[in-house]
Amino acid sequence: MRARTRTARRRVVVLAAVASLGAGLLAGCADDGNDEGGSSSEGGGGKTKITLGLFGTAGFEESGLYKEYEKLHPDIDIQQTVVERNENYYPALINHLTTNSGLQDIQMVEVGNIAEIVETQSDKLLDLSKYGKKSDYLEWKWQQATTKDGQTIGVGTDIGPMAICYRTDLFKAAGLPTDREEVGKLWAGSWDKFVDVGKQYQDKAPKGTTFLDSPGGLIQAILSGEKDRFYDSSGKVIYKTNPAVKDAFDLTAQAAEDGLIGNQTQFQPAWDTTIANSKFAAMSCPPWMLGYIKGKSKPESAGKWEIAQAPKSGNWGGSFLTVPKSGKNTEEAAKLAAWLTAPEQQAKLFGVQGSFPSTPAAYDSTEVKSAKNDMTGDAPIGTIFAQAAENIPVQTIGPKDQIIQQGLTDNGVILVTQGKSPEEAWNNAVKTIDNNLDQ
């Protein structure tokens, strides 16, 4: 799932069942006859009910995995409550964990929040190491949800290996190659080369289009490939002194000053419109982004997108399933969480949903190898993302990564597209981030 709404990643759709995003964001506020929270011991027909609190579109229901599990376990009744955006979901989750009430049997946690959960809430969550099989998962993914004393409080769902999605029609119109191998060679190994390609595009760009969609997407992609970003291995905040962060900010700001980037904030309605109206030629593209593109594009855009390797490998997105100890069915919930994230199920989920597996064994599956997307035609998306996943660095994750990333984008580089200087944008981002870190 993608970092912003997992999102994450996450197709990302608005779920009609979520009518409001107030105090009842999690199922603990639903009326299920249990005053202590969302967990309930009985479902329909006397079955054991397992509830899940999710955000974005995890895809478990849409892919038929719940029905498959219920068929294998006739005494289990699975129900989910979904909030569209993680920024609405996560504050409520923290509140429920802090009070140890109102929690579902299984709660999803986005990768940008997992370090904070491990550091501050692990005592509220079940150790899943005896349910999930460590060797099934990428080592760095497993470690992200593991405490210093060796308890693993979350099993990984998906990851977000970085690629670049681009419009072949717009590239062709600007005199650029359209073959994915040739395109990848244009910027291989360097984000500076990537921006240079943007300058070539902009010189002959179709009227009213930019090379990239949003400054947030570019800085996110660059930083997704850095081992150390906002924290060092000791837990010290280093974003202001880390050259990699400032370099990423400056490169993005320069691209914005040069007019290579649209002036919209990602995952907002105005940005959605730029996708629908084909207003940009390329974008940072982890697997879940393909679902977002498909959901926001007009039908005539199908097959006009392609996908190439990013200049450097990185990871954007991914989530975990956790099991609160306060639930009435922790044993059954842990078994379900482990089953949903096992290689076989992750492969099926990618085939239907586009959530790329955090379990390497799934990469050789038919579902991954033969995966296609309507927007990218015959592109072997499973193979492309698997290659990217092989080179993702083991990244240091801090408890406030999401706050820092959002500050750099929404309170930083976006301002350059609105007329602020890079220096003004950086100073505003730092002020906003530091104020939020002090709270």
Query: What is the torsion angle, in degrees rounded to the nearest 10, for the CA atoms of residue 132, residue 136, residue 138 and residue 143?
Result: 30
pLDDT tens digits for range 376-402: 999 999 999 999 998 899 899 999 999
CA distance from start to end of the chain: 27
Q: Is the dihedral of CA 397, 398, 403, 407 positive or negative?
A: negative
Residue 5 has pLDDT above 50, yes or no: no
Task: Indicate the pairing of strand 48-55 with strand 106-110.
Answer: parallel
pLDDT tens digits for range 125-143: 999 999 999 999 999 999 9
Q: What pLDDT sits at residue 32?
A: 35
Helix (H, G, I), strand (E, B) or coil at 18: coil
Average pLDDT over residues 241-252: 98
Q: What pLDDT sits at residue 84?
A: 86
Q: What pLDDT sits at residue 384?
A: 96
Residue 21 has pLDDT above 80, yes or no: no
Q: What pLDDT sits at residue 41?
A: 60
Task: Indicate the pairing of strand 155-161 with strand 356-357.
Answer: antiparallel
Q: What pLDDT sits at residue 181?
A: 97
**Are the CB atoms for 117 and 90 separated by under 8 Å?**
no
Question: Mean pLDDT across the chain, nearest whole number?
Answer: 90
Token pair 């080179």 in the structure block, residue: 391
